Amino acid sequence: MPSLTLVQAINTALREEMQRDEHVLVLGEDIGKNGGVFRATEGLYNEFGGNRVIDTPLNESSIVGVSIGLSLYGFKPIAEIQFLDFIYPAFDQIASELSKLRYRSGGEYKAPIVIRSPYGGGAKGGPYHSQSLETFFTHIPGLKVIIPSNPYDAKGLLKAAVREDDPIVFLEPKRLYRSTKSEVPDEDYIVPIGKARVAREGKDVSVFAYGAVIPTVLEASEKAQQEGISTEIVDLRTLVPLDLEAVLASVKKTGRAVIVYEAPKFMGYGAEIAALIAEEALEYLEAPIARVGGFDTPYPYAHENLYMPTPTRILNAIKKVAKY
Q: Which domains does the chain have, with CATH numbers?
A: 3-183 (3.40.50.970), 197-322 (3.40.50.920)
Residue-wise pLDDT tens digits, 97-142: 999 999 999 989 999 999 999 999 988 888 999 999 999 999 999 9
Spatial separation of the C-alpha atoms in residues 29 and 56, rounded to whole Å: 5
Please report the pLDDT score of residue 103 as a whole number: 93
- SS3 of the chain: helix, strand, coil, percent, to 5: 40, 20, 40
Spatial separation of the C-alpha atoms in residues 219 and 94, rounded to whole Å: 36
Could you give the angle at the alpha carbon of 83 between the alpha carbons of 211 and 220, nearest 5°? 25
With H, G, I as helix, E, B as strand and everything else as coil, classify residue 231: strand
With H, G, I as helix, E, B as strand and everything else as coil, classify residue 239: strand
Cβ-contact 121, 175 below 8 angstroms:
yes
Q: Which residues of the chain have pLDDT under 50?
A: none
Catalytic residue of the set 23, 129, 139, 303: 129
Please report the pLDDT score of residue 43 as a whole number: 97
List b or e across 117-136, with b for residues whose CB sees 16 or more CB atoms inside 10 angstroms: bbbbbbbebeeebbbbbbbb
Enumerate the H helices of the chain as residue ranges. Answer: 6-20, 44-48, 60-72, 91-92, 101-104, 134-138, 151-162, 214-226, 244-254, 269-281, 304-307, 311-322
What kind and span of H or E run contains 201? none
Spatial separation of the C-alpha atoms in residues 320 and 145, rounded to whole Å: 31
Please report the pLDDT score of residue 268 as a whole number: 96
Comparing CA positions, the residue from 166, 235, 158 lying closest to residue 192 is: 158
Distances in whole angstroms, Cα of residue 71 to Cα of each of 22, 62, 67, 93, 111: 13, 14, 6, 14, 6
| 303 given a catalytic annotation | no
